[in-house]
Structure 1
Amino acid sequence: MRLVHVFDAYCGWSHGFAPVLAEVVRRHPGLDMEVVSGGLFTGARRTPIREFGYVQGANAEISERTGAEFGPGYARLIEDGSFVMDSEAAARGVAALRQAAPHRIVELTAALQHAFYVDGLSLSDPATYRVLAETAGLDPDALVRAFTAPETAAAARDDFARAAGLGVRGFPTLLAVAGGRVTVLAVGHAGPDEIDERLAAARAATA
């Protein structure tokens, strides 16, 4: 059995779910974890953030339910309104981080979302990945090269196809996959204890 976390780095609920995911990984160190980018803001949905009028209200709900922090850098992006969230670029960043340190991908994707939702850094900007690498003890030049490489763009497309193939329609979604059986453990938000109960049931069903 493996866990598959389908998220989008530009999804506020995914940002709020990051501490829960970290706790699930801590509780179940023997389970493989696959992190997949879902592609929330692609194509026609890549528009200035001012066009998403629900953002501030949604963020207030996310903070209330999960305790997630939305920092001053991000608040400035909201106030300006011109920033465009591009999930393809963010997925390239996730693919580059996955390539650099696959065993740390949950930690690193949480740091990626912190860079946007707290510091207000663009996930389309190579400089953001340089900062992440320096903070995480990775090779900054190698991470930036990976972010801009054609292979990472292909990996992002593969992620979107993987998410669609799993039938995921909302982010974040946490799945348990064993053979051909897929069990939904969480969609949007759930606590670690709830996830543990569902995971135990999934294991029992496949025993």
Structure 2
Amino acid sequence: MKLVYVFDAYCGWSHGFSGTLREVVSRHPELPVDVVSGGLFTGERRVPMRRFGHIQEANDAISGLTGARFGESYRRLAVEGSFVMDSEAAARGVAALRQTAPSRAVELAVALQLAFYVDGLDLSASATYRQVAREAGLDADAVVAAFEAPQAQKAAEADFRRTSELGVTAFPTLIAVDDSRTVALARGHATADEVDHRLAAVGVAHTS
């Protein structure tokens, strides 16, 4: 069995789920995790932040429920309103980080969300991936090269296809996959204990 984590780097609820995700991974080191980008802000949804009038209310709800922090740099970006969240570019970044350090995909996905939601960094900019890579102790040149390579675009498109094939329509979604069986463990929000309870129902015990 493995876990599949479908998220979007520009999704506030995915940011809020980071704590649960890290705890689940800590409790179940025996379960590999595929990190998949969902593509929340693509096509016609790729518009300036000011077009999403509910952002502050949503962030307040996320903070209240999960304790997730939204940094001042990000808040200024949201208030100014001209920034465009491009999930395709972010998915290329996720793919580049995942390619460079496959075993650290969860950690790096969380780091990328912190780069945006705390530091207000642009997930379409090579400089962001250089910074994330350096802070993670990775080869920054290799990560940037992977981000800028055509293969990253193909990987992003493959992630979006996989999201559709899994039937995921809301982010984040955490799924357990065992052969042909898929079981939803979390959609939007869940605690680590709730995820554990659902894992136990499919025969995975909390042993760590």
**TM-score greater than 0.5 by the shorter chain:** yes
Flag structure 2 segments of 5+ consecutive residues without an equivalent.
Answer: none
Q: Distance in 2 between matches of 1:119 and 1:32?
A: 29
Q: Distance in 2 between matches of 1:110 and 1:23?
A: 12
Listed as ranges, the matches of 1:83-102 within 5 Å are: 83-102=83-102
Deviation at 1:203, TM superposition (A): 2.3
Matched residue of 2:156: which SS? helix
Q: Distance in 2 between matches of 1:133 and 1:173?
A: 25
* Structure 2 counterpart of 1:103: 103
* Structure 2 counterpart of 1:154: 154
2:121 counterpart of 1:121: yes
Q: Distance in 2 between matches of 1:59 and 1:16?
A: 9
Q: Deviations over 1:87-117 (max 9, x none)?
A: 0000000000100111111111111000000
The code of the aligned residue for 1:31 comes to L
Listed as ranges, the matches of 1:162-173 within 5 Å are: 162-173=162-173
The code of the aligned residue for 1:85 comes to M
- State TM-score, norm by structure 1: 0.97
Segments of 4+ in structure 1 off by > 3 A? none
Deviation at 1:79, TM superposition (A): 1.5
Deviation at 1:19, TM superposition (A): 1.1
Q: Distance in 1 between matches of 2:157 and 2:91?
A: 8
Deviation at 1:76, TM superposition (A): 1.1
2:31 counterpart of 1:31: yes
Flag structure 1 segments of 5+ consecutive residues without an equivalent.
Answer: none
Q: Distance in 1 between matches of 2:183 and 2:166?
A: 10
Matched residue of 2:158: which SS? helix
> Percent identity of the aligned residues?
64
Q: Distance in 1 between matches of 2:133 and 2:9?
A: 17
2:63 counterpart of 1:63: yes
* Structure 2 counterpart of 1:5: 5
Q: Distance in 2 between matches of 1:121 and 1:13?
A: 18
Q: Distance in 2 between matches of 1:194 and 1:134?
A: 34
* Structure 2 counterpart of 1:145: 145
Matched residue of 1:21: which SS? helix
Q: Distance in 1 between matches of 2:163 and 2:88?
A: 13
* Structure 2 counterpart of 1:78: 78
Matched residue of 1:168: which SS? coil
Q: Distance in 1 between matches of 2:125 and 2:34?
A: 25
Q: Distance in 1 between matches of 2:148 and 2:58?
A: 32
Root mean square deviation, CA, Å: 0.7
